[in-house]
Amino acid sequence: MLVLGVVVSCQGDTHAVFTPAPSPSPHTAPTVAILQSRDVPTGLNVCVGSGPIDVYLSVLSGADADLAARQSNYWQQLRNNGAIAGAVSVFASDITACKTELGATTNVKAMSSLVFQFRDEGQAERAWESGVFGFAPPPLGQLSPNLIRGSGTGLGPSSFTYDRPSVRLACWRRSVFVAFVVVSNADLNTFHAATAAIDPRLN
């Protein structure tokens, strides 16, 4: 009986079924999360250099070395804070806007997006709080109808938006990503469509 019990026990172990834990979905690549040609209105053309941030900075250095150096410093700060990948896309109605600081065009329609991926959500949150490419969340005491921080933006608690007819921008943290969108000389619907295109990709 003892031997039989051992055999039955072993057979029971043999038939045990172990279900592995499902693997987490891979994160979207920043080059996929940034604004794509299908996301922008007709009349805006993609600027040369849009794509991985290293490519963008390399192309920019040939047009404006000083601006490229400042942008490279911003990227290095994000890397110091844990960024492992980044991408930039710029669309403009005139090529001159491809070589200027983000949001600095005064009479040209342009749309830019930046998406940075971090190792974990904590690093992404701290980087968002510190600021992205020179734009930091406003202190709670400095909010105004044109400057909104938090859930009122529609982009979650870790977000802020700035809204003026000449320039509209949004910066927010979702999952392990920090995203930044700036729209120049375009209407509010175009701005909202841009953030709505990127936000679901930030998994």
Q: Are residues 87 and 51 in contact, defined by beta-carbon separation less than 8 angstroms?
A: yes
Q: At what angle do helices 53-63 and 65-80 cross, to 10 degrees?
A: 160
In the numeric block, the tokens 């979650």 are attached to 156
Q: Are residues 79 and 132 in contact, defined by beta-carbon separation less than 8 angstroms?
A: no
Q: Under DSSP, is residue 128 helix (H, G, I), strand (E, B) or coil?
A: helix
| One-letter amino acid for residue 31 of the chain | T
Q: How sure is the predictor about 104, in pLDDT bands with cuts at 50, 70 and 90?
A: confident
In the numeric block, the tokens 């992404």 are attached to 124
Q: How sure is the predictor about 142, in pLDDT bands with cuts at 50, 70 and 90?
A: confident
Residue 38 predicted with pLDDT over 50: yes
CA distance 37 to 103: 19
pLDDT > 70 fraction of the chain, expressed in percent and rounded: 88
The pTM of this model reads 0.85
